[in-house]
Chains A and B, each alone.
Chain A
Amino acid sequence: MKGIQRYVNVTEIVRPIGHLLAFSVGSAALMSAIVIVLALILDRTVVGADLMDRYNVSLYTYTMINLPQVVIDGLTIGFVYAAIALGYTMVYGVLEFINFAHSEIFAVGAFVGVELLIALDATGVLAGATLGMAYAYLIMALLAGMLAAGGLAMAVERVAYRPLRGASRLVPLISAIGVSFLLQDLIRLVESLTTGQFNRIMPTFGNFDQRIILGKLNMGASNITLGISIKSIIVIAAAVLMLVALNYLVNATRIGKAMRAVAQDRGTASLMGINVNRIISITFLVGGLLGGAAGVLFALKFTRIDPFVGFFPGLKAFTAAVLGGIGNLTGALLGGLVLGMLETFAGSFMGVFTMGAAGSEYKDIFAFSILILVLIFRPQGLMGKHVGQKA
């Protein structure tokens, strides 16, 4: 055990997992408590009466029946956001720069992975694959998406950001917005030239679409099955793996140490013999790898992708990063989970609680409202330290 510990920093593996567990349980419990209290209050009002009239179920029962499934869905989506948010937060931590194009790097990863699987599907291997092979193919797609996205992120940094280093803050940001728009249409161009269409569907294979039934709930006259699909489990497991690996890279390796040094003071870091350009490149590479993996996972979970698929998840992940405290890896995780939970809860319960006046169509606004509130009242985020603006 001592021998291993000399080479592997065990605490840096265990710590993020502990955080993850705490955050997941904490946010789920908090949100559930809020919703249950709201349900109990509203049950006495016209909202509860209305629901009773229409479906013959009290608001409290309705909420309790839906709650476990909502928590599971919220966790899944939260982990997707957390995985994307890591890319933003890493780049921001090192460069103090919002990589607006990260959402498109995510989309490129998704497209490469899905195209690979579609190509495999066309040869017929996927349909007849054994369970083991199906997972192997999925991992292959993940790796392909990661490599493509990582390479692209590095290339974008070299071409569009590096020449602008040292200019005022808004200059690279505008360039990043340009890259984001350019990439959206480039994906569309390549897809329509090669395949003739730009909406792609993830092929179904393996056992990813099956649901594991966790239990049946009986509540009054209705009963509901509680389950989680295998692909959600894969998404969660992969995201946890990514978080742990990234945390390890940043906190327990030489490259990570160099990254932190560059983040603190670029000039001094270069005096200490750190190749700043190389470290920034690596930062973008790692951010891209994570983004690409998140893209393939997103495609696995939501099946359908198009060139603009990155925009909303990207924005929400950015919100998550800000919510947790941008530049802080653990914060990105917390932000992603909280945002995923909030959004899923809002999407599932807002419609019922407001008697259909405002339903899940407002869930995108929800993320923005949180972003705005956080920036006004706690700009450093939930876990961030307050730092002055660097000159």
Chain B
Amino acid sequence: MVADLFRNLFSFLNRGWLPYLIVLGHMGAGTLLVYNLPRSNLAFLTLMTSFLSLYFFRTNLRFKLISGIVLTLVAIPVLGVRNIFYLEVIFQVSVFAALALGLNIVVGFAGLLDLGYVAFYAVGAYLWAFFGSQQFYVLHYAPGTQPSDLPFLLPGDTFYLFLLLGVIVAAITGLILGLPVLRVRGDYLAIVTLGFGEVIRVLANNLDKPLNFTNGPQGITPIQRPTMPDFAVEWFNGLFGPLIGHPVSSANMYNLMFYLMALFVIVVIIFVTKRLDDSALGRAWTAVREDETAALAQGIPLVKVKLLAFAVGASFAGIMGVLLAASRTFISPESFSFMQSIGVLAMVILGGSGSIPGVILGAATITILNLQVLQGFSLYLNELRQSDAVIPIINFAWKDLSTQLDPAKYQRMLFGLILILMMIFRPAGLIPAKRRERDLSKYQSP
């Protein structure tokens, strides 16, 4: 009933010039709101959801492309530099979107549940962390005892080479890990990959002896940032300075640069994913996902096809790991816990496994929930704690609330709820993959 009403309204709005007006209006409103109210979460959400209306309303492809480019390359950089926190949120969204797209290949396309996916992310991150820092000269010191005047091993320029190396090394790691485990059946594979993920984390934690490779739980810092061309800051200030209202420092410029790089990587990943999905390999993945035995009978080399899925998925995580290490200038094993793997899995499941726009939507939703909603709730609780407010009926003073209750740390609950609810009510995700829509229909009727 409500759904019908909604569908009718949507198709009514989708006629003639109306969708163009709506999309432009939404984008304009979002941009103006964020420009004028840089601290408002609601304004930020308006801006972010304009991507959704851009995706859903029926406009022609050229309009979509141009609007998307204006939004991502002009509006967001300008607005983001005005409030660097948003740029950080968007950067995180892009990092997780790339991870989710990578996991999507493994889980969504090939149907292999990988619970240790961040291991590859860690491989990429530690790769640059080791070569792009002083760690090489720290090899013979115990953590914390090294002299302070050590040089960096490689100059910042080599970062760009390491983006490529990250892809290759992570893909090789994917092959090495995949080779022994891929003969294992579906649900076992999940647990084994979980084990591998933990192995990588434990190694990162403990490879500070006999030779200090990873600096143990303290993590590696400082890690070099890539060199930025000198003219970039001047050029950007000259072009956008009047709009932003203040000159941009080079530190903020770095945030912008990493955002653009992440965006670039995502565009490449989307392109690769789309091409793969339409290729013979993509069809082989689908076949393996739907029925392994039948796929084998059709002459699909199971292990090879699965290995390729593992390697491709891993390579996406590898390049993002390199990017993460450079942008944070600090990494520690903590960032590569099992929870992160499940977080990425939750993004894939929420958005719709196998569906590219779905997975990106899932990544954006969960990251924003994580960084803004949960943390906003935490701040709100803290304010309540400091006030004299009392819950009326049960007569509970807010300041008696335990300080251990910090919603920002309840990501597990968020991930858990998303996984359970999606599996029960909408296993195909928010934006189901086109092909999956057909496949899952048999589960809809009991």
Interface residues of A (CB under 8 A from B): 97-98, 160, 163-164, 166-167, 169-175, 177-186, 188-189, 192-193, 196-198, 311, 315, 318, 322, 356-358, 361-362, 364-365, 367-369, 371-372, 375-376, 379, 389
Contacts of B90-120 to chain A: CB distance below 8 A: 111, 113, 115
> Is the pair A192, B405 in contact by a Cβ cutoff of 8 Å?
yes
Any A CB within 8 A of the CB of B277: no
> Is the pair A182, B412 in contact by a Cβ cutoff of 8 Å?
yes
Any A CB within 8 A of the CB of B13: no
> Is the pair A368, B443 in contact by a Cβ cutoff of 8 Å?
no
Q: List 6 A-B contacts (CB under 8 A).
A: A174-B345, A177-B115, A178-B419, A179-B420, A184-B412, A375-B181
In the complex, how many angstroms separate the beta carbon of A155 from the nearest chain B beta carbon? 13
What's the A-B contact tally at a CB cutoff of 8 Å?
Answer: 136
A377's nearest neighbour on chain B, judged by CB, is B180
> Is the pair A166, B342 in contact by a Cβ cutoff of 8 Å?
no
> Is the pair B181, A173 in contact by a Cβ cutoff of 8 Å?
no
Query: In the assembled complex, which residues on chain A have CB atoms less than 8 Å from the CB atom of B405?
Result: 189, 192-193
6 closest residue pairs by CB, A with B: A178-B419, A182-B416, A368-B195, A181-B416, A192-B404, A185-B413
- Complex Cα spacing A178 to B402, Å: 26
Interface of B, secondary structure class, is: helix
- Complex Cα spacing A170 to B423, Å: 10
A167's nearest neighbour on chain B, judged by CB, is B443
> Is the pair B184, A357 in contact by a Cβ cutoff of 8 Å?
no
Query: In the assembled complex, which residues on chain A have CB atoms less than 8 Å from the CB atom of B191?
Result: 98, 315, 318, 322, 371
> Is the pair A175, B423 in contact by a Cβ cutoff of 8 Å?
yes
Interface of A, secondary structure class, is: helix
In the complex, how many angstroms separate the beta carbon of A273 from the nearest chain B beta carbon? 23
Any A CB within 8 A of the CB of B410: yes
Query: In the assembled complex, which residues on chain A have CB atoms less than 8 Å from the CB atom of B88?
Result: none
- The answer, among B181, B402, B423, for a CB contact under 8 Å with A174, is B423
> Is the pair A170, B410 in contact by a Cβ cutoff of 8 Å?
no
> Is the pair B186, A178 in contact by a Cβ cutoff of 8 Å?
no
13 further A-B contacts with Cβ under 8 Å, apart from A197-B404, A364-B198, are A160-B424, A174-B423, A182-B413, A185-B412, A193-B405, A196-B404, A311-B338, A322-B191, A365-B202, A376-B180, A376-B181, A376-B184, A379-B184
- Complex Cα spacing A67 to B54, Å: 69
- The answer, among A167, A178, A357, A376, for a CB contact under 8 Å with B415, is A178
B113's nearest neighbour on chain A, judged by CB, is A170
- The answer, among A175, A364, A375, for a CB contact under 8 Å with B419, is A175
Query: In the assembled complex, which residues on chain A have CB atoms less than 8 Å from the CB atom of B402?
Result: 192-193, 196-197
A376's nearest neighbour on chain B, judged by CB, is B180
> Is the pair B195, A372 in contact by a Cβ cutoff of 8 Å?
yes
B292's nearest neighbour on chain A, judged by CB, is A389
> Is the pair A371, B209 in contact by a Cβ cutoff of 8 Å?
no
In the complex, how many angstroms separate the beta carbon of B180 from the nearest chain A beta carbon? 5
- Complex Cα spacing A244 to B427, Å: 41
Any A CB within 8 A of the CB of B196: yes
Any A CB within 8 A of the CB of B190: yes
- Complex Cα spacing A185 to B345, Å: 18
Any A CB within 8 A of the CB of B418: yes
- Complex Cα spacing A39 to B273, Å: 53
Any A CB within 8 A of the CB of B160: no
> Chain B, 393-423, contact with A by CB distance < 8 Å: what is the 0/1 string?
0000000001111000010110111111001
